[in-house]
Amino acid sequence: MGEAIVITSGKGGVGKTTTTANLGTALAILGKRVCLVDTDIGLRNLDVVLGLENRIIYDLVDVVEGRCTVQKALVKDKRFDHYLYLLPAAQTSDKSAVNPAQMKQLIEELKQEYDYVLIDCPAGIEQGYRNAVAGADEAIVVTTPEVSAVRDADRIIGLLEAEEHVKPPRLIINRIRSHMVKNGDMLDVDEIISHLSIELLGIIADDENVIKASNRGEPIVLDPNSKASIAFRNIARRILGESVPLPPLEEEEKGLFSKIRKIFSLK
Amino acid sequence: MNVVAKQKQQYVTIKGTKDGLTLHLDDRCSYDDLLKEIEERLVKQAGVAPDSPLVSVHLKMGNRYLTPAQEEEVRALIRRSKNLVVDSIESNVMSKAEAIEWMRKTEIVPVSRIVRSGQVLHVEGDLLLIGDVNPGGTVIAGGNIFILGALRGIAHAGYAGNKQAIIAASVMKPMQLRIGDIMSRAPDSKTDEGNEMECAYIDEHNQIVVDRLQLLMHLRPNLTRLERRM
Ligand SMILES: Nc1ncnc2c1ncn2[C@@H]1O[C@H](COP(=O)(O)OP(=O)(O)OP(=O)(O)O)[C@@H](O)[C@H]1O
Ligand SMILES: [Mg+2]
């Protein structure tokens, strides 16, 4: 029996879909059978990021309303043999087309088949959020180093902590720009962690290759060299229970001057 | 202004003070006898001009317990005297229900958690929070608020009107502070320093001030005493 993990954030556009696609792909590469579920009904785009949009025939609402079986609606990602599947969201309905009880049942069914069911949650805390969380055993909260995103993450963490069937949520900080953090123009990782007080699962740099890869329909984890790719693969290994140390953030700052600045703790 | 009356026994002793009349009521006679005497001595008293100003009356019941209904009855009776109105009723005894209510309002409620954005934590007595209040989170207490952690959200102490209440936090960086019905917004500066171990209270100008925690023992000597708010 697999595990269902919801990827959520509160605030929109912080990287839930990107995270879902990349962690799913990374887990599949690591030999796990993975099913991705897009619950952003009406605004689906997980299929686009994975490059699978042309292959969709049925969707989540079709399954819930009994027009087809789950198996029939799942889109197989051919690049990964039979390891990675997507259950796409409906584009024509809205979030009220599905209710939490139906979602719970659906996720339960998928967990029988797959090692990991990753649920891409829509932004917000309304019905779409409740649907996405209903069947989850674990939760990953994605935030960016912005005050408003952290505030919404805090709100979501509070809601998740109240869900008895969900383990304590873990955090991914996305789109860190080390030079902005250094200049004090962005919240730094320690600040965010001390604020949210939850376990940190990983940090992903802001990397334009992420956007390029998404536009090509090829998750960034397929690029062996980009920093974001390494970060996503490390997170996947942490999900599997390996202890992978967090790499130091400021990789560029290796010069003598920066060391001296550190010693004297200058900002 | 002692009322002179020659009776076999006096159940009601009347004293004039600068805030009106204080009535010491015998606590061993029957309730009915007490009412009868109040009526005779205060209500049936002649010679009060109909437009004379109201005088407030303080009742000292001694060891007699009055039910809420009886309190109402006594108030109504005295009110019939044209110019007297009951201001307070004091008794040495309280019912079990009142004692529990009083305890609920004065006890310290320890809570260990983080109050996150959008969450509200509400207690009747004093709140001892072991954890943070994050921005957008709210804590409300009937009494004082003590936070072993960072206050970054909203804290409202003495919400039912207790202006003596205080708010203390290990790290004081609130969005908003309220004590009783007084409110104060966070200062606009965004400095990170100098916010450790502070407390907020209402000063003599009826404004909330934030200052060193150590001042509290002088400002609020009764802070930890049981008798407060009795
Ligand atoms: N680490 C990153 N570096 C650069 N761009 C990123 C990164 N992560 C995400 N993005 C870009 O940010 C945009 C929003 O990402 P994404 O769609 O994953 O967010 P989302 O949280 O799913 O949004 P929504 O709330 O609308 O569902 C996309 O264009 C994506 O390519
Ligand atoms: Mg999305």
Which of the listed residues B93, B123, B143 is the one where a domain comes to its end?
A: B93
Q: Let me know how long chain A is.
A: 267
Q: What average pLDDT does the structure give for chain B?
A: 87
Higher pLDDT, B55 or A49: A49
Question: Looking at the structure, do residues B124 and B41 belong to the same domain, yes or no?
Answer: no
What separation in Å is there between the alpha carbon of B116 and the centre of ligand 1? 25
CATH number of the domain bearing residue B46: 3.30.750
Interface residue B135 vs chain A (CB under 8 A): yes
Q: Specify whether B136 is located in the same domain as B218.
A: yes
Ligand 1 pocket, Cβ-based, cut-off 6 angstroms: A 9, 12-18, 40, 122-123, 174-175, 204, 206-207, 210-211, 214, 228
Residue A174 CA: which ligand is closest?
1
Give pLDDT, residue B177. 96
Q: Report residue B227's pLDDT band, with 50, 70 and 90 as the boundaries.
A: low
Nearest CA to ligand 1 atom 31: A211
Q: Which residues of chain A are within 8 Å of residue B175 when distances are taken between CB atoms?
A: none
Tokens describing residue A65 = 């309303």
Q: How far is the CA of A238 from the centre of ligand 1 (A)?
A: 22
How confident is the model at residue B203, as a pLDDT? Answer: 92
pLDDT band, residue B104 (cuts 50/70/90):
confident
Does the annotation place A14 within a ligand binding site?
Answer: yes
Interface size, chain A vs chain B, as Cβ–Cβ contacts under 8 Å = 28
pLDDT exceeds 80 at position A250: no
pLDDT at A244 over 70: yes
Q: Which of B112, B115, B116 to mutate to test the interface with A (most CBs of A within 10 A)?
A: B116
The minimal CB distance from A157 to the residues B116, B132, B152 is found for B116
Identify whether residues B23 and B40 lie together within a single domain: yes
CATH of the domain at A244: 3.40.50.300
Q: Which residue has the higher pLDDT, B228 or B23?
A: B23
**DSSP sequence for B66-90:** --HHHHHHHHHHHHTTSSEEEEEEE
Q: What is the pLDDT of residue A252?
A: 43
The verdict on whether residue A20 carries a ligand-binding annotation is no
Same domain, B56 and B149: no
Q: Would an 8 Å CB–CB cutoff place B134 in contact with chain A?
A: yes
Q: How many domains does chain A have?
A: 1
pLDDT at A164: 95
Among B35-44, B104-113, B130-139, name the most confident range: B130-139
- For A80-96, the pLDDT digits (tens) are 989 999 999 998 887 88
Of A124-138, A190-204, B50-64, the range with the lowest mean pLDDT is B50-64
For ligand 2, the distance from its centroid to the CA atom of residue B222, given in whole angstroms, is 55
What percent of chain A shows pLDDT beyond 70?
93
- Average pLDDT across chain A, whole number: 91
Q: How confident is the model at residue B228 (pLDDT cuts 50, 70, 90)?
A: low
- Exposure of A202 in the CB half-sphere (CA atoms within 13 A): 21
- Smallest CA–CA distance, residue A228 to chain B, in Å, is 29
On chain B, the residues whose CB falls within 8 A of the CB of A151 are: 117, 135-136
Average the pLDDT over B6-14 and give the result.
Answer: 75
pLDDT at residue B193 greater than cutoff 60? no
pLDDT at position A92 is 85
Question: What band does A44 get if pLDDT is binned at 50, 70 and 90?
Answer: very high
Query: B138 and B38 share a domain?
Result: no
List CB contacts of A110: < 8 A, sequence separation 6 or more.
A2, A4, A35, A37, A70, A87, A117
Q: How many CA atoms lie within 13 A of B97 on its CB side?
A: 3
Question: Which CATH number does the domain housing residue B187 bear?
Answer: 2.160.20.70
pLDDT digits (tens, 9 = 90+) for A170-219: 999 999 998 777 777 788 899 999 999 999 999 999 999 999 999 999 99
User: Domain containing A221: what range?
Assistant: 3-263
B80 and B104 in a single domain? The answer is: no
Give exposure, B106-133, as e/b (b: 16+ Cβ within 10 Å).
Answer: beebeeeebbbbbbebebbbbbbbebbb
Q: Looking at residue A158, what is its pLDDT? A: 97
Residue A158: CA count within 13 A, CB half-sphere = 25
A152 touches B at CB < 8 Å: yes
More confident residue, B90 or B82: B90
Cβ–Cβ gap B118/A155 under 8 Å: yes
How does residue B50 score in pLDDT terms, banded at 50, 70 and 90? Answer: low
Return residues 176-235 of A near B (CB < 8 Å).
195-197
Tell whether B121 and B173 lie within a shared domain: yes
> For position A266, what pLDDT does the model report?
45
Residues B186 and B113 in one domain: yes
| Residue A13 alpha carbon, nearest atom of ligand 1 | 23
Give me ligand 2 centre to Cα B166, in Å: 45
From A36, A210, A215, A227, give the residue whose CB has the most ligand 1 atoms within 8 Å, as the site to mutate: A210
Is the pLDDT reported for residue A232 higher than 80?
yes
Q: How many domains does chain B have?
A: 2
Same structural domain, B127 and B180: yes
Tokens standing for residue A2: 């697999």
Asked which of B62, B93, B124 is the last residue of a domain, the reply is B93
Is A24 within any annotated ligand binding site? no
- A151, A152, A158 ranked by CB distance to B119: nearest: A158
Is there a single domain that holds both residue B113 and residue B36? no
Return left, alpha or beta for B180; rule: phi > 0 is left, psi -120 to 50 is alpha, else beta.
Answer: left
| Furthest C-alpha separation in chain B | 76
Tell me: pLDDT of B28 over 50.
yes
- Which of the two residues, B5 and B197, has the higher pLDDT score? B197
pLDDT level of residue B19 (50, 70, 90 thresholds): confident
pLDDT tens-digit map of B67-89: 999 999 999 998 888 788 999 99
Q: Are residues B110 and B36 in the same domain?
A: no
Minimum mean pLDDT range among B84-98, B118-132, B135-149: B84-98
Percentage of chain B with pLDDT > 70? 87
Same domain, B13 and B57: yes
Residues spanned by the domain of B75 = 2-93
Q: Tell me: pLDDT of A16 over 90.
A: yes
Of the three residues B59, B93, B127, the one that is the final residue of a domain is: B93
Q: For residue A212, give the ligand nearest its CA.
A: 1
Looking at the CA of A123, which ligand is closest?
1
User: For A247, which DSSP code?
Assistant: P
